[in-house]
Structure formats: C-alpha cells, structure tokens
C-alpha cells in the first residue's frame, strides 16, 4: 500500500518543481537564520557587495521579483540593519541602497551556505546533467515568460 497517491496521470515536472523549490529554501533558510540572513536577501547582498549602491528598481530586476516585493524585502533588511537607503543626489525620487558593514561581513558565509546546498541538491549529477538541466529550465522559463507577456498576466 506504499503506492504514491497521484493527483494527475502524466509526468508533471512542474509539481515536483514547486516541492523541490520549497524544500530547498527551507534548508537554506534554516541555516541562514543563524546568521541573521535569509535566502531572498542573497541576490541583493551579492550584487551590492560587488559594486556600488543601486536603486530599488534595479535590485528588483536583478533578483527577478516585482518592485513591491523588493520594497518589502528592503524594509525588513533595513529594520535588521543590513542595508541603508541613501538619498540620490541626482534624482530626488530615488534612494540608493547600500550594504552596512554588518551585512558585508556576513555575506560570504551566507553565499557559502547557498552554494553548499546547491551541491547537495545536485549530488550525483554529472557536469553534463547539470548543464542539461540548466538548459531545460531556461527553456521552460522562456516559454512561461513569453506566455506571461502575450497573455497580459
């Protein structure tokens, strides 16, 4: 009676995808929590560490989330002392986001945790398989992105 109950018949990679994604973030977030970080913050931390302060909209584009999602994320990060919002002298609408010292110091350890967990997820995968998966995922992403635009979602 160990037969898996299925809610659909044909192989549906999209259902597994959702579960894998949630399990992945659960594992990463559990480890990052001890550092006072979270997975969603990593794109922001990494790109700001590499270069100069950036406006919010640019960070949203890089992290591939909508602008209000980024605004809220930055609110939490500001509250936790990870980023500062500095007035942009060249545009009074814009405020440039910069890392605090505290965030700079924690960043590397956080990135390492992320990479280690990616390696766990890809355990037993050959280089060829990783590349193949990457290509397949990119094609799915493009298909969906095109549909989203055309369908005005």
102 binds, among a second copy, DNA, none (CB under 5 to 8 A by kind): none
Q: Name the CA dihedral angle for 77, 91, 64, 76, rounded to a multiple of 10 degrees.
A: 10
Binding part of the chain for a second copy, among 26-34, 73-81, 83-91, 94-102 by CB under 8 A, reads: 26-34
Question: Is residue 76 part of the contact set for a second copy (CB under 8 A)?
Answer: no
Question: Is residue 107 part of the contact set for DNA (CB under 7 A)?
Answer: no
Binding footprint of a second copy, residue count (CB under 8 A)? 56
Q: Which of 9, 66, 101, 150 binds DNA (CB under 7 A)?
A: 66
Q: Where on the phi/psi map is residue 54: left (φ > 0), alpha (ψ -120 to 50), or beta?
A: beta
Q: Name the CA dihedral angle for 134, 136, 142, 148, rounded to a multiple of 10 degrees.
A: -110
Question: Is residue 99 part of the contact set for DNA (CB under 7 A)?
Answer: no
Q: Which residues bind a second copy (CB under 8 A)?
A: 5, 7-8, 11-14, 16-21, 23-27, 30, 42-43, 46-47, 61-64, 111, 115, 117-118, 120-125, 129-134, 136-141, 143-145, 147-148, 151, 153
Summarize as ranges the residues that interact with DNA (CB under 7 A). 18, 22, 26, 29-30, 38-41, 55-58, 65-69, 71-74, 76, 85, 88, 91-96, 153
């Amino acid at each position: 009676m160990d037969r898996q109950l299925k809610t659909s018949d044909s192989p549906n990679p999209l259902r597994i995808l959702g579960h894998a994604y949630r399990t992945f973030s659960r594992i990463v977030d559990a480890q990052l929590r001890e550092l006072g970080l979270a997975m969603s913050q990593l794109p922001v931390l990494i790109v700001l560490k590499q270069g100069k302060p950036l406006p919010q909209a640019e960070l949203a584009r890089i992290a591939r989330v909508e602008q209000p999602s980024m605004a809220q994320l930055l609110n939490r990060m500001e509250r936790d002392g990870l980023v500062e919002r500095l007035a942009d002298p060249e545009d009074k609408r814009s405020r440039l986001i910069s890392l605090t010292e505290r965030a700079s110091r924690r960043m590397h350890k956080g990135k390492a945790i992320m990479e280690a967990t990616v390696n766990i997820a890809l355990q037993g995968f050959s280089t060829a398989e990783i590349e193949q998966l990457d290509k397949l995922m990119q094609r799915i992403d493009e298909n969906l992105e095109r549909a989203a635009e055309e369908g005005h979602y």
